[in-house]
Structure formats: C-alpha cells, structure tokens
Amino acid sequence: MHRISIASLAFVAVFSASVAVAADSVPAYVTSALAAPDRKADAADDAHRQVAAIMAFVQVKPGQKVAELIPGGGYWTRVFSGIVGAQGHVYTVWPDGYQQYVEKSYANWQKLSATQYKNVSLIRGGAGDLKLPEQVDLVFTNQNYHDYHDPFMGPVDMKAFDKKVFDALKPGGYFVIVDNVAPAGSGFADTDTTHRIDPEAVKKEVESAGFVFDGASDALKNPDDDHKQVSYKPPMAGKNDQFIYRFKKPAK
C-alpha cells in the first residue's frame, strides 16, 4: 500500500546520496508518460504513489529495457511503457508461485500487450526463475520483494535469485526495490504476517549478489507508521512507511 496523498507535487524530494531533486527536474518524458490518455484511470493515485519522484529516482529513459517483477494491475507497467517508448521494451515477470493472485491481471495484460501495448511482453516461469531474452537497463519491483521470501512462492533461494537479477542487467544497470518497512533488526520475520521487510536485511541480501547500494529515496516515508501493523490493511492501508532502494550493477 502507499503513502497518504499530498496536495501538490510542486516540490518532491528524491534522496540519493543525500542529494535532493526538485519536482521541476522530473524529465519531460516522464511528465509526458504520466499524462498519457491510457493512464486516465490511474491519475488519481499518482500523488500518493509518488510516481513522478520514483520515476526520476529510478532514472528510466526512453529506449531502455525494463523488467518489472510481479506487475499486478499494471499501474507501473503503463508508466514504464510510456517512458521507454517504441524503441524500448518492458518485460513483465509473473512467477508461477504467485499465479493465484495474478491470473485476472495476467489475462488482462495478454489482451493489452497484443493490442495497445506493443512494447510490453509477458513472461511466466518458476518463482525463482528470471529468464529474459536480453539484458535490461532496470529491474523494478514494487511491494513484492518480500513475497519472494514466503512459503507460497517456494520459498525462493534469494541469494540465487538476486544473482539472476544481477546477471539480467546490463553493466551499470539498476535494481530498484520498493517495499514495506518492518522493524529494524527483524530481518525477514514479517514477510508473511504483516507483509513487511527490514530494509537493512534487504540491503545486505542484495549486495551479496554483487550489487552496489546506489541510493535511497524518502518519497514514501511515513514516520507515523510504527511498522507493527499489516501493511495493506486499515489503519495503515494507503499510508504505510515504504523504503525505496536503488542498487547498481558495476559497470566493470
């Protein structure tokens, strides 16, 4: 779930290496993608999802290749599709272990990718698999990294999976994780209960695959969240504290 709405995006703080980025620095191609007619139904969620700030933070660009893990209803997919354009591509990864939750969305995207979204492909496979037809510039997952640790997903060998993400990226590419904050020091204990995960545990796990931590954004931070309640249910639904981490595959 996502943070409380704000009245304006006149100024959005995006923190990477302690450097703030103003909303007027959001690239024009991001602004254009957000204004696309096919996103009319999504627009009401843009402020509380901080989509402009997050797209600026992930640094996705026209012509790039993106892999999105567990895209759900396609909110982020539509944005990526609009940004990368006809010269780019979005690979949406739907793990079989998650299928009972995504069949309706998957069926919907089968139709849309065959008609409206020519630059979107659908990939099914085992939860621990990541088989892309080419290396990509960005791997992105929103509120789903914690799911890979749960029994219904396998559970997945995360050390091996993160290495697959690493190998799927071009040198210099990014792995961006948005997820629900669990209490400090809790590790992976809450992934299947409150659906949260300890950011520091994620950082150590991903870095063990060879990634370099490249920055964090506070765009979805909520200091009023005590990190103890279920992330997607009231009273935290729509306003739970989330971390946004960017990891980089070294260029060499």
Q: State the pairing for strand pair 19-20/212-217.
A: unpaired
Position 204 scores a pLDDT of 98
Position 41 scores a pLDDT of 94
User: Which of 163, 175, 173, 78 minimizes the C-alpha distance to 135?
Assistant: 173
User: Do the beta carbons of residue 247 and residue 212 sit within 8 Å?
Assistant: yes
Give me the tens of pLDDT residue by residue for the chain, a chain 252 residues long: 333 222 222 223 333 333 344 455 799 999 999 999 999 999 999 999 999 999 999 999 999 999 999 998 899 999 999 999 999 999 999 988 776 777 888 888 888 888 899 999 999 889 999 999 999 999 999 999 999 999 988 889 999 999 999 999 999 999 999 999 999 999 999 999 999 999 999 999 999 999 999 999 999 999 999 999 999 899 988 899 999 999 999 998
Buried b (16+ CB within 10 A) or exposed e, 123-154: beeebbebebeeebbbbbbbbbbbbbbbeebb
CA dihedral 91, 96, 100, 105 (to 10 degrees): 10
Position 24 scores a pLDDT of 57
At CA 213, angle to CA 192 and CA 29, rounded to 5? 95
